Every structure is written in C-alpha cells, then in structure tokens.
Amino acid sequence: MRKLLFMLVLSLIGLTAFSQNITYKKDWQGNTIAVDDRGNTIATQKTDWQGNITWVDDNGSTIKTKKKDWQGNNTWENNRGQTIQTEKRDWQGNKTLENDQGQTEYVYKKDWQGNTAVYDENSNLVGTYKKDWQGNTVFEKNP
C-alpha cells in the first residue's frame, strides 16, 4: 500500500506544482484519495475488475494502472496500455523507479526517523513521506 502511494505522488508532482504537500486519506468507500493543501482531490486509487490497482482523476479518467511484468516487477501503464514506469530494487535494497527507457527516475530510501525520502536521478532530495497526527501519509516537497 505504501509503495503504491509513492508512485502516485511522483506521477502527480506536475499536476500539483502550486501545492507543497499531498495527503493520502481513505474515503467513505475505503479508496485511497490524494488531496492537496487546499483540500482538492487530485486522484483516487481504485481496483479494477482484474484486481489491478488504478489511479483515476476526479473525472473518472484513468491516470495509470499497476501490473506485474514477466520478471515479477511492478509496472505502471498509462491509459493506452503503454508501460511508463517500472519498480525495481537496487543493490542496497532501495526501491527505484525507472522510466520506459530503463533510466532511474527516483530512488526511495528510509531516513534515520523511519520516513521515506525520495531522491531524483541526480541524488537530489525531492521530498519525504511522513505520517501526520491523524495517521495519514503526507508527501512533503523539499523546498
């Protein structure tokens, strides 16, 4: 569940350039929703009829779908069925997110406080996933 939330945040960074933080909550149906600082719903995580995890926008259009490739890696496909990202592990056990050309886009590492720090391909800190006082996961962008 936590891994899925990481993937969504990175795909929605461009959509939320005006916002500093994204909070992940559960709605009344049990779906995970991504909400910006202003309380606007950015996207909703649902499960499709095949059991794949799908992120949809507030209009119901598919943003991306999580599936397994033949090697057992999690892949993300766009709404046309094209693989856009692949999740793997590096030699240190950190989760990496690669683009469709196999280049590392993001690396997820645990910091000393147990939070998950996200680094880009140049090892620059993008942001950190933390829990708020209500138990929601919050992605805080690095200033």
Reading the chain (143 residues) residue by residue, the pLDDT tens digits are: 444 444 554 555 444 445 578 999 998 888 899 999 888 999 999 988 888 899 999 888 999 999 988 888 899 999 898 999 999 999 999 999 999 998 999 999 999 999 999 999 999 999 999 998 988 899 999 87
- For 117, the enclosing helix (H) or strand (E) is strand 116-120
| Structural domain containing residue 97 | 2-141
Q: How many helices (H) and strands (E) does the chain have?
A: 1, 12
What does the pLDDT read at residue 110? 93
The structure's pTM equals: 0.73
What does the pLDDT read at residue 138? 93
- Residue 68 is part of a domain; what is its CATH number? 2.40.160.200
Provide the number of structural domains found in the chain: 1
What does the pLDDT read at residue 129? 94
87 token code pair: 């999740």
Q: Return d(Cα 81, Cα 75) in angstroms, integer.
A: 11
Q: Return d(Cα 143, Cα 137) in angstroms, integer.
A: 19
